[in-house]
């Protein structure tokens, strides 16, 4: 009888909850420990758990959100509980997984909101990550994800949310979920949250700055590297919502497999500060209205171009005002977003590729004063000041001046900036020229004109980007733009940061420290990120010969010269180390402009060989042997270009015995001792030098 009374007194909803499967949605940036959390719970729990991870959902490879949803739904239907192992850092990314809940499924969130420096430290140090997100470059990705996180709330549909702010909290959460048996349930509610409005962890940028300083070779691409950095074709990012060092850069987790590669090099981008500077004492509410209004006006004219409002501090009031007002107007956050960082170092410090930056200038267009104007003139060097003087000596409020940046400017060579647009806004400071004495009717009109002039100047650049002709010609007499238009030749736009090899090939005398050899036909230099003990690049010195796809029969003598030069260097290296074996060849689709031959030893003993794309770019059919290229061009008139996407995603196999390996560390350990003969196809036609017996 007592049993009946106790049973009758229990709430019906609690009774129904017993035995329900749990959909536990993990929330956290890479490096926060989501996968480890799952493994620790599943190792000790008596409840049947399934881990659904987007990095491995596609037969061990990266997959899609729909695949995760399908797998999770199937497991829940079978009565199993599931961990959703994705970043899930905003409500939009969580909503479909929350909807898996219902009368028969409880939906929980486990938030691993650990200190930013801990996650970043982990991700920099780790290797062989199943999602290939690791190393110094990944640190910037994690930073921008953390800056844009949106913590879950019960109102989204969760029955329980557990916040973990440190490793002690994580251990407690692991014990809690491990102890949940097949028929048990957990109390509903929100546990462990210190500040419901918390969003940004202070000190992230300070830590990231130190990280960049100590890991510069990983995080800052060099002019000469073959690695595809932030301005390259395979920039490493993460399939998740992010906003570089601020908010509103959105890179969706819903992307298809392979979307971890993201190409921003061809997207025209204007980075601009608030033109109504602090020194001009303009009302920020009114200034933010003008910015958002003008951005909205120009949205339809942008095409694929982007506008980025930049400020140095995460506490910037103008950024927060603009973000809120842009969101209200539902402005596309992929084409207009805010960014915290130094406008003079957006690429090298933040990984954001901007070909145009705006300067909140003074009326004299002089480098004096402080703030943005002084910083940009200082970063641009004498080349920017001289180029500005050629255009104009002064500027009226409400106007903008477009200044093409010489390639000798550090902003061009290091940051990939091709143009600086000087723009002068309205002044409300009585100590500065042209004070409007708080006349905001006139002030807002001047500010509107200033942004209109700025955006029009940017669009004129975006619509007339310099195109690199795909045709041949000598260094001194390459085809003109008019000739290219008449002939209908296809063109390709190359971001400035991808033209370092081209610049060296055209003017080797300016790069004496890098150049090992130079002649009328070729330039030889070391790859600054060698993937083996010996790794040279032999550059063609001819305009219009940007990639292997451009090579035709008339280029055959040059290709033969490049091959002969490569062989001569091989002889030198083998004379110094007789154990070395080389291949000479081209990447089917290079990451940098200007045709270049790789001369690379086959030991692949290099700390710079870190990722699958590094390995597959030299050991699959993507790497076209020089002897085969010359034969194909001689017989067919052009070389065969292999499929980059397919070959870069192939499994890791030893280049000698062809055994498969799960990650780069395991592969490198194997090849250091593998003595198997090279595959038979490589031992023919002189593809290996010296030839193998």
What is the band of 216 on the pLDDT scale with cuts at 50, 70, 90?
very low
The secondary structure of 651-674, three-state, reads: CEECCCCCCEECCHHHHHHHHCCC
Helix (H, G, I), strand (E, B) or coil at 389: helix
Q: Is the pLDDT of residue 522 over 70?
A: yes
pLDDT, one tens digit per residue, over 584-606 is 999 999 989 999 999 999 999 99
Percent of the chain with pLDDT over 70: 78
What is the band of 247 on the pLDDT scale with cuts at 50, 70, 90?
very low
What is the pLDDT at residue 192? Answer: 83
Q: Is the pLDDT of residue 445 over 50?
A: yes
Q: Cα–Cα distance between 188 and 185 in angstroms, integer? A: 9
What is the DSSP code string of 137-150? HHHHHHHHHHHT--
pLDDT, one tens digit per residue, over 91-144 is 888 999 999 888 889 999 999 988 877 877 777 665 544 444 544 455 666 666
What is the DSSP code string of 478-491? PPPHHHHHHHT--E
Q: Cα–Cα distance between 649 and 58 in angstroms, integer? A: 12
Those residues with Cβ within 8 angstroms of residue 506's Cβ, 6 or more apart along the chain or in another chain = 475, 541, 543
Q: Cα–Cα distance between 413 and 584 in angstroms, integer? A: 29
Domain 498-689 is in which class?
alpha beta
pLDDT, one tens digit per residue, over 142-166 is 666 766 778 999 888 999 999 998 9
Percent of the chain with pLDDT over 90: 51
Q: Is the pLDDT of residue 229 over 50?
A: no
Domain ranges in the chain are 22-191, 269-465, 498-689
What is the pLDDT at residue 618? Answer: 97
What is the pLDDT at residue 504? Answer: 93
Q: Which two tokens stand for residue 479?
A: 């085809």
Q: Is the pLDDT of residue 199 over 50?
A: no
Q: Is the pLDDT of residue 259 over 60?
A: no
What is the pLDDT at residue 678? Answer: 95
Q: Is the pLDDT of residue 516 over 90?
A: yes
H-helix or E-strand spanning residue 294:
helix 284-302
Domain 269-465 is in which class?
alpha beta
Q: Which two tokens stand for residue 549?
A: 């796809």
What is the pLDDT at residue 500? Answer: 87
Task: Name which residue leads in pLDDT, 352 or 124.
Answer: 352
Q: Is the pLDDT of residue 248 over 50?
A: no
| Dihedral (Cα; 340, 342, 344, 345), 10-degree rounding | -80
What is the pLDDT at residue 60? Answer: 80
What is the pLDDT at residue 143? Answer: 66
* Dihedral pair phi/psi, residue 359, rounded to 5°: -115, 125
How many Cβ atoms are within 10 Å of 74's Cβ, its own excluded? 13
- Half-sphere exposure for 465 (CA within 13 Å, toward CB): 22
Any idea which of 58-62, 196-200, 381-385 has the lowest mean pLDDT? 196-200
Q: Which residues are catalytic?
A: 596
What is the pLDDT at residue 9? Answer: 40
What is the pLDDT at residue 369? Answer: 72
Q: Is the pLDDT of residue 25 over 60?
A: yes
Any idea which of 141-155, 219-233, 266-280 has the lowest mean pLDDT? 219-233
Residue of 550, 570, 569 lying closest to 629 (CA atoms): 550
Q: Cα–Cα distance between 245 and 243 in angstroms, integer? A: 6
Q: Is the pLDDT of residue 210 over 50?
A: no
Cα 154 to chain center, whole Å? 33
User: Does pTM surpass 0.85?
Assistant: no
Q: Cα–Cα distance between 630 and 612 in angstroms, integer? A: 28
The predicted model gives 431-447 an average pLDDT of 87
Residue of 61, 177, 53 lying closest to 110 (CA atoms): 177
Superfamily for the 22-191 domain: P-loop containing nucleotide triphosphate hydrolases (3.40.50.300)
435-to-212, 367, 402, 441, 487 alpha-carbon distances in Å: 42, 21, 25, 13, 54
The predicted model gives 247-253 an average pLDDT of 34
The predicted model gives 625-642 an average pLDDT of 94
Q: Cα–Cα distance between 483 and 468 in angstroms, integer? A: 12
The predicted model gives 596-620 an average pLDDT of 95
pLDDT, one tens digit per residue, over 459-479 is 988 876 543 333 333 332 333
Q: Cα–Cα distance between 584 and 563 in angstroms, integer? A: 7
Alpha helices, H only, 80-239: 91-98, 116-125, 136-147, 167-178, 204-214, 216-219
Helix (H, G, I), strand (E, B) or coil at 338: strand
pLDDT, one tens digit per residue, over 393-404 is 899 999 999 999
What is the pLDDT at residue 135? Answer: 47
Q: Mean pLDDT of all residues in the chain?
A: 80
Integer-rounded Cα radius of gyration of the chain:
29
What is the pLDDT at residue 250? Answer: 34
């Amino acid at each position: 009888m007592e049993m009946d009374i106790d049973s009758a007194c229990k709430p019906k909803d609690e009774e129904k909850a017993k035995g329900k499967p749990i959909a536990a949605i993990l929330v956290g940036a890479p490096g926060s420990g989501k996968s480890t959390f799952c493994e620790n719970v599943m190792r000790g729990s008596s409840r049947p758990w399934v881990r659904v991870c987007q990095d491995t959902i596609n037969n061990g490879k990266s997959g899609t959100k729909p695949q995760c949803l399908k797998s999770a739904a199937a497991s829940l239907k079978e009565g199993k509980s599931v961990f959703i192992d994705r970043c899930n850092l905003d409500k939009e990314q969580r909503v479909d997984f929350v909807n898996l809940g219902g009368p028969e499924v409880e939906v929980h969130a486990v938030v691993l909101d650990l200190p930013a420096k801990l996650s970043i430290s982990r991700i920099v140090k780790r290797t062989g990550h199943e999602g290939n997100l690791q190393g110094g470059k990944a640190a910037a990705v994690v930073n921008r994800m953390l800056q844009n996180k949106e913590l879950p709330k019960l109102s989204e549909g969760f029955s329980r949310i557990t916040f973990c702010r440190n490793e002690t909290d994580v251990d407690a959460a692991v014990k809690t979920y491990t102890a949940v048996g097949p028929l048990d349930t957990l109390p509903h509610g929100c546990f462990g949250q210190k500040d419901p409005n918390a969003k940004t962890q202070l000190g992230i940028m300070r830590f990231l700055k130190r990280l960049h300083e100590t890991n510069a070779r990983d995080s800052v691409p060099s002019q000469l590297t073959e690695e595809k950095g932030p301005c390259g074709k395979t920039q490493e990012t993460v399939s998740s919502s992010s906003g570089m060092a601020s908010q509103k850069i959105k890179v969706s987790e819903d992307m298809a497999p392979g979307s971890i590669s993201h190409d921003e090099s061809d997207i025209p981008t204007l980075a601009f500060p608030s033109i109504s500077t602090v020194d001009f004492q303009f009302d920020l509410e009114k200034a933010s209205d003008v910015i958002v209004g003008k951005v909205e006006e120009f949205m339809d004219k942008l095409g694929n171009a982007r506008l980025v409002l930049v400020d140095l501090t995460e506490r910037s009031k103008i950024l927060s005002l603009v973000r809120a007002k842009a969101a209200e107007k539902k402005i596309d956050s992929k084409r207009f977003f805010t960014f915290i960082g130094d406008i003079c170092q957006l690429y090298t410090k933040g990984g954001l590729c901007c070909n145009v930056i705006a300067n909140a200038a003074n009326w004299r267009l002089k480098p004096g004063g402080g703030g943005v104007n002084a910083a940009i003139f200082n970063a641009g060097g004498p080349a920017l000041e001289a180029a500005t003087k050629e255009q104009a000596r002064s500027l009226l409020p409400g106007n903008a001046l477009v200044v093409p940046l010489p390639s000798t400017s550090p902003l061009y060579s290091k940051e990939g900036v091709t143009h600086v647009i000087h723009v002068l806004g309205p002044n409300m400071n009585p100590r500065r020229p042209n004070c409007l004495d708080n006349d905001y009717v006139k002030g807002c009109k001047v500010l509107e004109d200033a942004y209109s002039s700025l955006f029009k100047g940017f669009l004129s650049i975006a619509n007339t980007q310099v195109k690199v002709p795909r045709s041949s010609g000598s260094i001194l007499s390459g085809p003109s733009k008019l000739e290219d238009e008449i002939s209908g030749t296809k063109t390709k736009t190359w971001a400035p940061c991808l033209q370092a090899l081209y610049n060296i090939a055209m003017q080797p005398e300016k790069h004496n420290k890098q150049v090992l050899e130079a002649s009328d036909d070729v330039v030889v230099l070391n790859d600054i990120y060698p993937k083996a003990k010996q790794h040279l690049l032999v550059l063609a010195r001819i305009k219009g010969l940007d990639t292997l796809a451009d090579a035709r029969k008339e280029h055959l003598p040059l290709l033969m010269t490049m091959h002969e030069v490569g062989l001569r260097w091989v002889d030198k290296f083998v004379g110094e180390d007789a154990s070395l074996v080389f291949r000479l060849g081209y990447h089917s689709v290079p990451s940098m402009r200007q045709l270049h031959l790789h001369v690379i030893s086959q030991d692949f003993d290099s700390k710079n060989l870190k990722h699958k794309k590094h390995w597959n770019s030299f050991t699959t059919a993507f790497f076209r042997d020089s002897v085969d290229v010359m034969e194909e061009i001689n017989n067919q008139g052009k070389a065969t270009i292999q499929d980059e996407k397919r070959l870069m995603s192939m499994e890791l196999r030893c280049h000698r015995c062809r055994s498969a390996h799960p990650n780069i560390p395991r592969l490198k350990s194997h090849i250091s001792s593998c003595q198997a003969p090279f595959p038979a196809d490589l031992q023919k036609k002189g593809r290996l030098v010296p030839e193998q017996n």
